């Protein structure tokens, strides 16, 4: 997938050529071209306030900032992990809500 994304990269072309010449296994895989989209991995987390959560992890390349990536974590809709994330969001937002309340004037 990376070779298709950067077809004019001389270092990548050189690496593919070197691997093809020096590794029969690589040459066979390269010729078969078994490329497919990656499935985002799931990770287990334990937060001290909301407990166990299983979240999928997606990493995105930032087009305007080469070399930078952003990691996103999400829970399956309707899961106990989604409920834990909602609770965590509510708990972390509570102090901000308290600061936005204006005290009543006398």
pLDDT of residue 96: 56
pLDDT of residue 2: 77
Pair 50, 37: CB distance under 8 Å: no
Would the pLDDT of 95 be above 70? no
Report which of 69, 2, 1, 84 is spatially closest to residue 35, judged by C-alpha positions: 1
For the ranges 5-9, 47-51, 54-58, 81-85, the lowest mean pLDDT is seen at: 5-9
Provide the pLDDT confidence category of residue 19 given band limits of 50, 70 and 90: very high
Helices marked H in the chain — which ranges? 2-5, 10-22, 24-32, 80-100
């Amino acid at each position: 997938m990376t070779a298709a994304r950067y077809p004019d990269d001389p270092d990548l072309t050189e690496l593919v050529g070197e691997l093809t010449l020096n590794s029969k296994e690589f040459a066979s895989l390269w010729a078969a071209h078994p490329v497919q989209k990656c499935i985002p991995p799931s990770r287990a987390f334990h937060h001290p306030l909301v407990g166990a959560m299983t979240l999928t992890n997606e990493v995105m390349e930032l087009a305007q900032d080469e070399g930078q990536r952003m990691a996103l974590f999400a829970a399956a809709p309707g899961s106990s992990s989604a409920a834990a994330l909602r609770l965590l969001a509510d708990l972390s937002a509570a102090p901000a809500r308290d600061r936005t309340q204006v005290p009543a004037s006398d």
